[in-house]
Amino acid sequence: MNTRESVRQAIESVRAQKLRSGLTLLSIGIGVFAIIASTSVTTTLQKVVGTQLADLGEHSFLIQRTPSIQFGSSWRKYMQRKPITYQQALEFRERMTTTALITISNTNPAYTIKTAGASTDPDVSLIGVDHLYSTVNAVSYDRGRGIVEQDVTLGRNVAVLGNDVVVKLFGQRDPIGQTVTIKHQAFTVIGTLTPKGAVLGQSQDNRVLIPMPLFVKYYTWEWDRSVDVSVKAWSKMSLPATVDEAIGIMRVLRGVKPDEENTFELDTNEALTAQFSGFGSALLIVAWISGIGALIAAGIGIMNMMLVSVKERTREIGVRKAVGARRRWIMRQFLVESITLCQLGGMTGTVGGVGISWLVTFWLRTTGMDGVGYDLPLTSILFSVIACTLIGVGFGLYPAYRAASLDPIEALRHE
């Protein structure tokens, strides 16, 4: 029996034992699916995060009360820290000498923005900013202007609207010069932000910027009065010196003793990227271990199927040996059948894994991430093909040996 006949025999075995074969092939498919889908989705998400962090600039960093990414129960420790007050941030900016690109901001979610005849849902992010916010954070304006130094120092009631807010309140009308109300306070619209779309389903255009002094005065409470300080070094070469100076000044302002750890977090883009990469790698390892475990479990099922097949075809094996079939021919036949079964399951998992990764990429594009490209996970696919082949050989070897070792006379007597 040649290789083509062995493959055909494997497919016939699947058809003859649909339930048993289907469950075994499903186990293989799940393992391959987990490996391919996890690799592709994690790679895509890392690209999305990398793109968003790149928008902040290569030589920027953020100082805040708590880390940007937290795991486990460590939030209890961070919430016990004293807030970074607006006055501390202002003094920090005055003391810094290695850069002047320092902006102070804070965000409160879930606000309703109103006009005379319309209002938004209570999900708008209200952000208090200063005149350097757009420079440090690479923010651009579609119409009008941003908040300037005079708006901050004079405490002017002015606002810059994101595109989602503009659409809900004004539709096609020009919002510049119009008045909006935020929690009983009236603001004059001076500009609109350039639309940026959404990231992971979260809109970046559903926000409103106002001067920081007004934000502190009207929209902060005791539990959320800590501000964020964004710092941009003059160049990538000067970033280490700027970071060192920033840490030293902030420790002095917050009264941190030399033997105590920082009571604030300083996150650079590289650090945030590394944290997310570590989180993604951990998820990837878990998915791969689960996938390989499923493949091994499926291999045991393949062995069971092949042993049953040997028993059912004992008389056939006896006839083949009686007419001159050699042991290696019979072993090759059963090994090819075992490998074919594994590859059938692997093909199912590959199609599912590639499909789900393409759907994730398509979803990200529909939410505004137009720059996200789809990368076929060739490495994972190649690994899956090799793994399925090795499992077919490893778990099909014993049944093939059993078949090849049958005594032809005893096999012909088998009923």
Q: Indicate if the pLDDT at residue 215 is higher than 80.
A: yes
- 223 and 281 assigned to the same domain: no
Q: CA-CA distances (angstroms) from residue 315 to 21, 75, 215, 405, 415? A: 22, 68, 86, 13, 7
Per-residue confidence at 367, pLDDT binned at 50, 70, 90?
low
State residue 105's pLDDT score: 93
Residue ending a domain, among 233, 265, 297, is 233
CB 251 within 8 A of CB 258: no
- The model's pLDDT over 2-24, given as tens digits with 9 standing for 90+, comes to 667 666 766 776 666 677 677 77
Nearest to 231 by CA among 391, 95, 140: 95
Domain annotation covers residue 132: yes
Residue type, 140: S
Cα angle value 6/10/12 (rounded, 5°): 115
Least confident of 59-68, 162-171, 236-245: 59-68
CA distance 389 to 382: 11
Across residues 119-137, what is the average pLDDT? 92
286 lies in the same domain as 408: yes
Please list the residues that pair with 187 across neighbouring strands: 180
The phi, psi pair for 235, rounded to 5°, reads -155, 170
Do 307 and 227 fall within a single domain? no
- Give the separation between CA 207 and CA 127, rounded to whole angstroms: 7
The pLDDT of residue 372:
61
**Beta strand pairing status for 141-144 and 179-182?**
unpaired
Residues 229 and 287 in one domain: no
Sequence-distant (≥ 6) Cβ neighbours of residue 316 within 8 angstroms: none
Number of domain units in the chain: 2
3-state secondary structure of 100: coil
Instruction: Write down which residue in 233, 265, 299 finishes a domain.
Output: 233
Whether residues 297 and 377 share a domain: the answer is yes
Residues 299 and 221 placed together within one structural domain of the fold: no
Does the global pTM surpass 0.75?
no
Give how far Cα 338 sits from Cα of 6, 78, 150, 385, Å.
Answer: 9, 55, 77, 14
Residue 248 lies in a domain: no
Q: What whole-number distance in Å separates Cα of residue 65 and Cα of residue 67?
A: 7
Range with the largest mean pLDDT of 78-87, 91-100, 276-285, 390-399: 91-100
Helices 269-312 and 18-54, packing angle to 10 deg: 170
Judge if 407 and 283 occupy the same domain.
Answer: yes
Identity (one letter) of the amino acid at 190?
Answer: I
Q: How many CB atoms lie within 10 A of CB 110?
A: 10
The answer to whether residue 302 scores a pLDDT higher than 90 is: no
201 domain-assigned = yes
CB neighbour list of residue 159: distance below 8 Å, 6 or more residues apart: 180, 182, 187, 188, 189, 190, 208, 209, 210
Closest CA to 410 of 325, 335, 319: 319
> 402 and 279, same structural domain?
yes
Are 288 and 352 in a shared domain? Answer: yes
280 shares its domain with 158: no
User: Among 180, 213, 233, which residue terminates a domain?
Assistant: 233
What are the pLDDT digits (tens) for 32-55? Answer: 888 888 887 777 777 766 666 655
What b/e sequence results for 181-205 when a residue is b if at least 16 CB atoms lie within 10 Å of its CB, and e otherwise? ebeeeebebbbbbeebbbbeeebbb
Residues 141 and 21 in one domain: no
Please state, in angstroms and rounded to a whole number, the distance separating the CA atoms of residues 367 and 325: 62
Q: Per the domain annotation, does 69 fall within a domain?
A: no
Q: Confirm whether 160 is domain-assigned.
A: yes
Domain enclosing residue 163, as ranges: 99-233
Q: How much is the pLDDT for 41?
A: 77
Residue 73 lies in a domain: no
Which pLDDT score is estimated for 224?
58
Higher pLDDT pick, 32 / 201 = 32
**CA–centroid distance for 359 within its chain:** 14
List, for residues 252-268, the tens digit of each pLDDT value. Answer: 999 999 888 999 988 87
